[in-house]
Chain A
Amino acid sequence: MLKLSVSRIPELLAAIGGARALFLPARSGGQVNFTRWDTGVEYCGEALNTVKSAKDFFFPQSENLLTFQTQGKSISITPGGVPEEPFVIFGARPCDVRAMDILDMVFLSDPQDSFYKARRESGVVVAMACNAPEETCFCGSFGIDAADPPGDVAAWIVGDTLYWDAKTEKGEALTGELSALFSQADGGDLAALKTHKEEIASILERLPLSDLRPQSVGGSLLELFSSEKWGELSQACLGCGACTFVCPTCQCYDIQDFNTGHGVQRFRCWDSCMYSDFTMMAHGNPRTSRLERFRQRFMHKLVYFPENNGGQYSCVGCGRCVSKCPVSLNITKVIKAFGVKENVR
């Protein structure tokens, strides 16, 4: 376990960012979002989380796959460059880091997505534990410990000290480059860190959503699918797609062609199951009503994905849907509606 004074974080960022691309949560345009580091960009640790999740770095909102160009009767095809620029993400929260594992299950399973894979291999994730979880957090319901982040490096800020623990080979390699900045944490430091983690745990226990259990969504797939509760739950939904775009685990994308006038660019971009042209086929979108699309989203996250992926839910409890939905609908309301009443935890 290494440590560093919080006042030296700008030095640390300069050391990391001087040698490669570095992205960290920073204030810009009135919001806190992942911003590319440059001198003057300050790490914003007070914000609970960024508006957009870190999935953008591995699965960008828009990405060129191929470019076609015609010249007379011949067509030339240029593949979109597979990105290989090494980068570091600093300050990702435990929920966002776990979301990357969920995306791995989708994009790195056979057949592998070469674009995603290349980015995943070039990226190093430094996770930051949460000091002040808020009422919108329910990561605990999905087995994530906000006090003990996964990632290549786990970090904590306790008072004036930043603690740094490399967990993977990539993390060790990065740490090796920065070793001059750190000092070893001693027994007293470790004790302070332990107390800090216990404090976070006690906050997590008192959160309003701490007793939310996705496992309580009971019933067979067909029972859940045909439940009458979907009507009531989906009534207010605007079908906008805000939830899907801020969600760190949503992974659907569309492939489209753009006519540039001198060729065609085939690109992929985020898609939303809320949209009317989602999964559009020759006859149209098979889900013609708002209810069906709303149901699809939550059945996917709570039933279909776990069934196909060994019980892993496609949600990490980050709470973005809770705070960003224009009409305050979210996965917690769905879980509560379907949850069988239990007195556990």
Chain B
Amino acid sequence: MPIEREWEPLIVAFCCNWCSYAGADLAGTSRLNYPANVKIIRVPCSCRVNPLFILRAFQRGADGVIMAGCHPGDCHYTSGNYYARRRMTLLFSMLDYMGIESGRTRVEWISAAEGGKFAAVMNEFAGAIHELGENRRLGDIRCKNYQK
């Protein structure tokens, strides 16, 4: 039964285990607020993120997807984030070319010590997605469980 409710953005954050996930943890322990509708998915390295994950997130209801990884040069696995950087650049460029709003995707480099940056980035991103509105262009209508 579709549930009636007001739209709230759903954001999926792919966070690499060694840097950005730890950064998220630090934000938590430092009692820094960031929106509850940011859902974190931990991956061993930003390089693990397959473009299919990003698209599936949008399919399953995400309005914004952000990938957070170690700063280039500091990857726990030496070079994973370099590959991820190329991969995501091309993917985001392609999505933009297909007319998907470029503000819905982002990559940020957040280290384990940057709890403050994590919270700030997530707050800002959630705000930007709120502005952009619900994802209609890259969503799957079958997965929607509510009506406006």
Interaction A to B: yes
B-binding residues in A (CB < 8 A): 69, 258, 260-262, 265
Flag B50-93 by CB within 8 Å of A: 1 or 0 each.
00000000001100000000000000000000000000000000
- CB nearest neighbor in B for A64: B142
Known: A261-B60, A262-B145. 10 other contacts (CB 8 A): A69-B1, A258-B142, A260-B142, A260-B143, A260-B145, A261-B61, A261-B143, A261-B145, A262-B143, A265-B142
> Which among B1, B60, B61, B142 has the highest number of chain A CB atoms within 10 Å?
B142
Residues from chain A with a CB closer than 8 A to the CB of B1 are 69
Main secondary structure of the interface of B (DSSP, over half): loop
When chains A and B are docked, how far (Å) is the Cα of A34 from the Cα of B76?
Answer: 56
Q: Which residue of A lies closest to B61 (CB)?
A: A261
Shortest CB distance B16–A (Å)? 25
Q: How far is the CA of A265 from the CA of B60 in the complex (A)?
A: 14
12 contacts between A and B (CB under 8 A): A69-B1, A258-B142, A260-B142, A260-B143, A260-B145, A261-B60, A261-B61, A261-B143, A261-B145, A262-B143, A262-B145, A265-B142
How many whole Å from A81's CB to the nearest CB in chain B? Answer: 15
Tell me the bound Cα distance from A309 to B143 in angstroms.
42
Which residue in chain A gives the minimum CB-CB distance to B3?
A262
With A and B bound together, what is the CA distance between A330 and B1 in angstroms? 48
- B39 CB, min distance to chain A CBs, angstroms: 13
| Nearest Cβ on chain A to B108's Cβ, whole angstroms | 27
Separation of A276 and B143 alpha carbons in the complex (Å): 28
CA distance A69 to B145 in the complex (A): 11
List the 5 shortest-distance A-B pairs measured between CB atoms, nearest first: A262-B145, A260-B142, A260-B143, A261-B143, A261-B60
Expressed in whole angstroms, the Cα–Cα distance for A276 and B60 within the complex equals: 28
